[in-house]
Amino acid sequence: MSRSIAYTSSPLLASRTPLWRSKLIVATIALAFVALAGRAVYIQVIANDFFIRQGQVRFARTLELPAHRGRILDRNGLILASSVPAQSIWAIPEDVERDELALKKLAKLLEMPLAELNKRLEDEDKTFVWLKRQVDDAVAQQIQTLGIKGIYQRKEYKRQYPEGEAAAHVVGFTNVEDIGQEGVELAFNKALAGRNGSRRVIKDRLGRVVEAVGEQIPPIDGQDLELSVDSKVQFFAYQKLRDAVLQHKAKAGSVVVLDIVSGEVLALANYPSYSPGNRQNLTGEQLRNRALTDTFEPGSTMKPFVIALALEKGITTPQSQIQTAPGRLMVGSAMISDAHPHGVLTVNEIIQKSSNVGTVKLAMQMQPREMWDMFSQVGLGQKPHLPFPGAVSGRLRAYKTWKPIEQATMSYGYGLSTSLFQLAHAYSVFARDGDLVPVTMQKTGEPAAGVRVMDARHASAVRNMLHMVTGPGGTAPKAQTMGYSVGGKTGTAHKQEGRGYAAKKYRGFFVGLAPVDKPRIVVAVMIDEPSNGKYFGGEVAAPVFSETVQQTLRMLGIQPDMSVKPQIVAQAVQESF
């Protein structure tokens, strides 16, 4: 009764609601439901494709399934380059906890200033930012221990190079994306890289995979690559080269070792070098593969080719005598001279003593085209058939432009240029009885068919002359190798500087073969700008040749062809330029 009285006594409660207001409220609610239904139809039926795409943009991701990069192996199966797992650190800036102490520890582990770390985390609109790629496992574990919200890790692969500096210029390196940048890594990048796979997934806002959708495309791993290089020979050659460069206070040096039976490159070393796995503060001086990219005037190493051509043309014989006195010769208005006058020399002795005058007298009896043909046939002026980036062709001018003095100077290695690799390759004609062997960086293990350049008798005759160079009275007795007979040719050339030649800057080199009677290898050594008092090729390059030959032949299982005892080393004759 009291409740009824209270109701009727309240003006607000006692007043009747107008009918139109009730209808308006009901109609509004009905319209709202119709609008929601229409919107649902629009989203789920009419504009379905658009909203599906938007959802995919925000949450669907195509994850790359990286292919495992192939290994690089030496001829004996030893690893020169391989990929190992490595964690990369990334962040979602808007989610990162701004704990100053924790961020300081993180910056220290990432080896970056705290200001740099804060700068990378400034943009909170970003949902992804790399902090550091491919950190060491120990560092990754310490970062994980910090437990900083918004900091995550992703598994990638990092390249390792067990041989380090010794094989750096052969193997090269990859960038952080595992793409080859230098050496074999670049030259054979497509085969080594393989092909990445992929899979479609749904991720939450923290980057976690919550559902896999669509078809998965599996990755195709890269192929392993077996090189012709012998890592032991490579290391030994590099070590002896480095010691020689440091001993003679030289600017740089290079060594090339070729197996002349198969044409395989057994070693290709340069100093200075670098560590492929740690390239901080890397300079161009360290990076250059000098044996292939640097050219120089080859000096007296050209003389054996001129003598071989003279034998081919019937101009002379090994025992023919040539008057070289008084040690000087005028060609036009230019004077050509020997370092020491020798008088009458046989053709054998012209090579043994490295006589400019004797060589020029024979060269001037030939046509320029004949010399040009010989130089071209042994590969000078042509890019080596190797896949290495940066390999140069050198310079061999057209014979029609040669003046008499230019023909004369080219006979003893001035007026043309070559790389050390080209020079080593050219000498294979003497080691293979007149055949030029095709070269390769990949292991074959099979004898290679060469291209005939000269008669076998003449190649053998020149090989005997090269043997005399390393004996008493020759310019390179320091090239002698305990247990093995060797032959080769010294070269010493002034370095070009501006439009002329530097008075006191030289390159010393030695190119030779061993064993003499049945050659197996050709070794070429170049020392650039020795500045410790000695600069002749017989002094600075020949000892590196000697040690490299002995080690290489032992590694190849070649039996000594000479009595294994210390050999008498006579005083070297200073060679002509």
Q: Is 90 exceeded by the pLDDT of residue 250?
A: yes
Pick the more confident residue, 149 or 308.
308
Which range in 14-18, 32-36, 246-250, 275-279 is most confidently predicted, on average pLDDT? 246-250
Burial of 134 (0-12, 13-18, 19+ CB in 10 A): middle
Q: Is 60 exceeded by the pLDDT of residue 112?
A: yes
pTM for the structure as a whole: 0.82
Give per-residue pLDDT as tens, 372-431. 999 999 999 999 988 887 899 999 999 999 999 999 999 999 999 999 999 999 999 999
Give per-residue pLDDT as tens, 121-168. 886 566 778 888 888 888 989 988 888 888 888 888 889 999 999 999
Q: The domain at 231-275+290-555 falls in which architecture?
A: 3-Layer(aba) Sandwich (3.40)
- The C-alpha atoms of residue 203 and residue 212 are separated, in whole angstroms, by 9
Given this model, what pLDDT does residue 251 score? 95
CATH class for the domain made up of 63-226? alpha beta
Given this model, what pLDDT does residue 9 score? 63
DSSP-based three-state secondary structure for 454: coil
Give per-residue pLDDT as tens, 316-355. 999 999 999 999 999 988 999 998 889 999 999 999 999 9
Domain ranges of the chain: 63-226, 231-275+290-555
From 149, 56, 146, 145, select the one nearest 94 (Cα to Cα): 149
Given this model, what pLDDT does residue 278 score? 82
> Which residue out of 228, 300, 417, 576 is catalytically annotated?
300
CA distances from 115 to 107, 109, 120, 133, 140 (A): 9, 14, 9, 18, 21
From 70, 435, 431, 438, select the one nearest 265 (Cα to Cα): 438
Q: Is 50 exceeded by the pLDDT of residue 569?
A: no
DSSP-based three-state secondary structure for 96: coil
Average pLDDT over residues 244-260: 97
From 415, 323, 404, 320, select the one nearest 365 (Cα to Cα): 404
Pick the more confident residue, 271 or 206.
271
Beta carbons within 8 Å of 342's beta carbon, 6+ residues apart: 324, 325, 327, 349, 353, 355, 358
CB 404 within 8 A of CB 333: no
Give the count of beta carbons closer than 10 Å to the beta carbon of residue 129.
14
Reported confidence tier of residue 513, pLDDT bands at 50, 70, 90: very high
DSSP-based three-state secondary structure for 538: helix
Average pLDDT over residues 435-447: 94
- Percentage of the chain surpassing pLDDT 90? 59
Give per-residue pLDDT as tens, 164-217. 999 999 999 998 888 999 999 999 999 999 887 877 666 665 556 555 566 778
Half-sphere exposure of 359 (CA within 13 A, CB side): 31
Q: Is 60 exceeded by the pLDDT of residue 8?
A: no
- Percentage of the chain surpassing pLDDT 70? 88
Give per-residue pLDDT as tens, 49-79. 776 666 655 556 666 677 889 999 999 999 9
CB 290 within 8 A of CB 252: yes
Q: Is 60 exceeded by the pLDDT of residue 565?
A: no
- Chain mean pLDDT for the chain: 88
Given this model, what pLDDT does residue 280 score? 76
Least confident of 1-15, 57-71, 446-460: 1-15
Which range in 69-73, 118-122, 220-224 is most confidently predicted, on average pLDDT? 69-73
273 tagged catalytic = no
Burial of 157 (0-12, 13-18, 19+ CB in 10 A): middle
CB 235 within 8 A of CB 166: yes
DSSP string computed for 26-55 = HHHHHHHHHHHHHHHHIIIIITHHHHHHHH
Given this model, what pLDDT does residue 201 score? 64
